[in-house]
Amino acid sequence: MMELNTFSIAARCPRTGQLGVAVASAVPAVGAMCPYLRAGVGAVSTQSWVNPYLALHLLDRIGRGERVEAALSAVLAADDRADLRQVGLVDAKGAAAAWTGSGCTEDAGHRRGPGYSVQGNMLASQAVIDAMAEAFEGSAALDLDERLMQVLEAGDRAGGDRRGKQSAALKIVDREEYPSLDLRVDEHAAPISELRRILTIARRQLVPFVAGMPRKDGPAGALPDDVSAMLLRPPGERPGADSAPSSDDRTISHQDQFAPVLAEIRKLRELDLTEVHPPIIFDPSLPYRPVPHD
């Protein structure tokens, strides 16, 4: 069982019915452990001391028609350490529920609204939650992928996870059993900025490919000729290739990555150890000085 000190959003788009989760954390591979989505049912983020079965059982219950609050109460009642869990969820109608256990690392909390739940723990402050909620509420005219991305960016600007940054993910389901978008950044000094870059490329290269994939209620078909031609080209020649990180971006990323090391070096340089150990003076002439004899 791993503690994921994390900030996330689970949300539904009222125009398309899409469900999504976006999440960021200072642990690797957060996208592999926190988001759970089921098309036409709901979206869940399970975090803090992660219990994946909370999310799986929630989706089962919601899929059978239970209301989100009742489903959440039932799965938490069956968990012997509910105090360590944090969960946010939304169903296919936009009803949201959330739980932040008393044992979650502070600052921890959640906020719900129509069609969304934002939550986080080990945050820089409660301002992270407020910034995320305001970003979602203020972007209703945008597509779900952009709204989720802006929520992560707002949380990041407000301080995010107080330990730092390491991974981020964005996942969306539509009508199919497979996700329409599933993007992850792992072990990166600026994962949310990198996720934005990858999303830019995915919109040009991945989304058209997924749009041509087989549908459960239609013929398998084949990729359009223009999409096939685009994917046959080397990555550097495809649309969005100019989104590759510049040398300035790499410099900033490296600076972020090594900032803790540089801070420790500055501390060491400022230490005054004269009271702990007297200064050592190296005198190369000492072996050649005359030694008095009795």
Could you tell me the pTM of the whole model? 0.79
Interior angle at CA 61, CA 111 and CA 94, nearest 5 = 40
Q: Which amino acid is at 74?
A: A
Render each residue's pLDDT in the chain as its tens digit; 294 residues: 444 458 999 999 999 999 999 999 988 999 999 999 999 999 999 999 999 999 999 999 999 999 999 999 999 999 999 999 999 999 999 999 999 999 999 999 999 999 999 999 999 899 999 999 999 999 999 999 999 999 999 999 998 876 778 999 999 999 999 999 999 999 998 999 999 999 999 999 999 999 888 888 887 667 777 777 777 677 776 777 776 555 455 555 555 555 556 666 666 667 766 666 666 666 667 666 676 665
Q: From 61, 51, 31, 55, select the one nearest 43 (Cα to Cα).
A: 55
Residues 197-209 as b/e (b if ≥16 CB within 10 A, e otherwise) read bbbebbbebbebe
> Residue ranges of the alpha helices (H) in the chain?
52-63, 68-77, 127-137, 144-157, 191-211, 225-232, 247-270
Contacts of 247 (CB under 8 A, 6+ apart): none
Contact in structure between 41 and 150 (CB atoms under 8 Å): no
What single string gives the DSSP state of each residue in 224-255? -HHHHHHHHS-GGGSTTGGGSPPHHHHHHHHH
